[in-house]
Structure 1
């Protein structure tokens, strides 16, 4: 068996539209890329339902994971020989970057809400369980899979290593902002990564940035802010997510009611029963899900069939701006009117909320506290970013929340039946 810690005889490269080339010289990385579990990521989109809004967003978790690895490789190559950098941490950094998303499932965030799964827990199980990835990692050392898991779970003893993959400016975010911008065709997510990497410096607990590179860091923060509101929280994408979630809820409900499906959804049984084995989870990908959505269009259940047709044919719900504090007073009336119109409000009337905190400084004792970004002055002092940058200070610590109310306008506009009731509904909504 070849030495897993050795180098390949010839460097392998992946052609990449974001980073131009992704370089692999370590045999360990090359063997991990070839595992069944890593190849599965080719069949899971990075951005879930975003492709219904931005048709180019067909890129996968596989693309992104390679990209995060490449940024990490470049980061730690630049760290070589600098104070506070321990070269023995090199491999665990590269592997954690490569495998950080290995536990994601199909349309992962929607799936997690419906079936109470957690991609971070599945990441742990895949790395530590009976998998090809685990076998490869154990060739480094019996404790190596646990070390990789600890980095991804942010419990690793070396805080600098953790910060490189999980902080307010890390390899993960630097890749997905640029990659998602590229594939969605928007200009918001672009920033000067070359400059950021050049001014990045390791310290004992985290990477910091030379003060001379502050504007590149500002640009990164604003890119993230814009991408969340223009792409990740796009209301049309959220409409598709609402329908996707409702399809899964309906299928699960029908199963629990002993409904007889025309074709048994065998791939979903362990999900419906919430007894999902590692092997069951690894079999799930978006091709499987889309296969069932295609089949369920022909189901006898009117709601499941309609929702699947809507998702597959992009006949999405419309939306109106929603202020929950005001809208909730109309909520019981809306639900009652929907029922009168024979439209099930459990599936066709949905409030969806999105919120984001683009940058925050450290607030001791608060839940989900984040370590701030520090600038390194020429005098070797550290200064927190928002204290130096007016641009970042303007958005620092400010959480923005957006609420939308989703419903099937086409059904409300169809006045062949329940005309007066539908008219009342539209008067409330509009």
Structure 2
């Protein structure tokens, strides 16, 4: 029997708080889960610094990846099976891409990427195509199979329907993380009727479409996503922790470039600081490694690195103020000057952070990041773009919401004998009582 068709003698299941069970019967999927590259995802949190705001948010990319796989498995085995628009030869390709879609995420994900100019999708591709255990297993399916999986994840594959199951405005990735993140943060915003959505999904040549009768379930899903972004993902306290995390990494990198003598040499960062990180180096990084350095850097001679690490480890985060960069740029310049007079480095202690989200958009030809819209399948067989039928979705379509905050260390600005008048001016500008 070909490896691609090989089944386990007995089905394996993972107990899951969101989907109850994750079912695995394919030998290739079971083998991929057992690779060291996939197991590494247990040590990468799904929500980065959010655990410092919502204490239950300790779940991992491993949990999420299994969840995305399970949703896709249910769609193609229970909903699409036997439908002429679905090619069952794409089944294993779709399952593998769903399982491995987040494989390249680094510690604290997006914060880490911003500082070092990494792209987790690029590392996902390198893991799939490189000399890894994941690659060895995918090669058993066929010599070109790793490349096919990588193309689906990179959204360059000609199999548009397969891509849309994993990456679109209504995909398995979003459906899992909304529910999983809601569960572990303890909020109610991310819940929606996934069972209904799965039942009304239909395959088309280039994307998944939704039967018109399921429109209200999709409206609920989009509004759930909107609320999760503003109540959880962009929570200002989590963003404060992310600001400090980013500044720690920036400071360590700057000190390294200045030949600073670390008490504890950052061996795991050396190749990154030199801009010569290898896949092997990257795979050695997880959040336990990063937190180890933050722990020991609390004892460094450099006052800024020491302070920032203590803040992150002990959750002594920055406070924040509302800020409009378009109207308050003069205020920011004045604050920068006053911080310097007070002996506080504004590069590390006065930070503007912006968050932006577009909950739903329709197709705009020629624009950057063109978004394939959600289409409704009408009774007569025609397709209608969702916002044409839904007043709720039409009201938010194409509307990007952006929020700006100014972060600062309130404890540095207390009314003490050091630079008393300058700190008083800073507090007045920040409207601190």
Partner of 2:11: 11
Matches within 5 A, 1:190-229: 190-229=191-230
Matches within 5 A, 1:26-45: 26-45=26-45
Native 8 Å contact 1:42 1:62 kept in 2:
yes
Distance 1:4 1:212, change over 3 A: closer
Partner of 2:61: 61
**Residue 50 (str. 1) matches residue 50 (str. 2):** yes
**Residue 253 (str. 1) matches residue 247 (str. 2):** no
Partner of 1:161: 162
Matches within 5 A, 1:249-398: 249-398=250-399
Native 8 Å contact 1:356 1:399 kept in 2:
yes
Partner of 1:24: 24
Q: Which consecutive residues of structure 2, in runs of 5 or more, have no partner in the other structure? A: none
Partner of 1:232: 233
**Residue 145 (str. 1) matches residue 146 (str. 2):** yes
Cα distance in 2 for residues equivalent to 1:121 and 1:206:
24
Cα distance in 1 for residues equivalent to 2:201 and 2:309:
48
SS in 1 for 2:5: coil
Cα distance in 2 for residues equivalent to 1:3 and 1:175:
28
Distance 1:285 1:302, change over 3 A: same
Q: How far does the alpha carbon of each residue in 1:379-406 deviate from its partner, in whole angstroms, 9 at most, with x for none?
A: 1111111111111111111000000000
SS in 2 for 1:329: helix
Native 8 Å contact 1:128 1:145 kept in 2:
yes
Q: How far does the alpha carbon of each residue in 1:173-213 deviate from its partner, in whole angstroms, 9 at most, with x for none?
A: 00000000000000000000000000000011101011011
Q: Which consecutive residues of structure 1, in runs of 5 or more, have no partner in the other structure? A: none
Matches within 5 A, 1:165-204: 165-204=166-205
How far residue 4 of structure 1 moved from its aligned partner, in angstroms, is 5.1
Cα distance in 1 for residues equivalent to 2:417 and 2:81:
72
How far residue 2 of structure 1 moved from its aligned partner, in angstroms, is 8.9
Cα distance in 1 for residues equivalent to 2:27 and 2:254:
47
Native 8 Å contact 1:319 1:404 kept in 2:
yes
Native 8 Å contact 1:83 1:203 kept in 2:
no
Given the two structures, how large is their TM-score scaled by the length of structure 1? 0.99
Cα distance in 1 for residues equivalent to 2:332 and 2:239:
20
Cα distance in 1 for residues equivalent to 2:70 and 2:252:
40
Distance 1:154 1:222, change over 3 A: same
Aligned residues: 430
SS in 1 for 2:57: coil
Q: How far does the alpha carbon of each residue in 1:66-104 deviate from its partner, in whole angstroms, 9 at most, with x for none?
A: 000000000111101112100000000000000000000
How far residue 271 of structure 1 moved from its aligned partner, in angstroms, is 1.1
Q: How far does the alpha carbon of each residue in 1:245-298 deviate from its partner, in whole angstroms, 9 at most, with x for none?
A: 000000000011100011111001011111100100000000000000000000
Cα distance in 2 for residues equivalent to 1:12 and 1:64:
18
SS in 1 for 2:327: helix
Native 8 Å contact 2:127 2:134 kept in 1:
yes
Given the two structures, how large is their TM-score scaled by the length of structure 2? 0.98
Question: Which deviates more from structure 2 when the two are superposed, residues 77-86 or residues 311-320?
Answer: 77-86
Cα distance in 2 for residues equivalent to 1:201 and 1:325:
45
Native 8 Å contact 1:322 1:403 kept in 2:
yes
Cα distance in 2 for residues equivalent to 1:332 and 1:314:
28
How far residue 331 of structure 1 moved from its aligned partner, in angstroms, is 2.0
Cα distance in 1 for residues equivalent to 2:286 and 2:147:
26
Cα distance in 1 for residues equivalent to 2:192 and 2:53:
23
Q: How far does the alpha carbon of each residue in 1:356-375 deviate from its partner, in whole angstroms, 9 at most, with x for none?
A: 00000111111001011011
Partner of 2:93: 92
Q: What RMSD over aligned residues (CA atoms) do the two structures have, in Å?
A: 1.0
Distance 1:218 1:135, change over 3 A: same
Matches within 5 A, 1:77-116: 77=77, 78-116=79-117
SS in 2 for 1:29: helix
Cα distance in 2 for residues equivalent to 1:239 and 1:38:
30
SS in 2 for 1:15: strand
Native 8 Å contact 1:101 1:123 kept in 2:
yes
How far residue 300 of structure 1 moved from its aligned partner, in angstroms, is 0.5
Native 8 Å contact 1:195 1:216 kept in 2:
yes
Partner of 2:419: 418
Native 8 Å contact 2:376 2:385 kept in 1:
yes
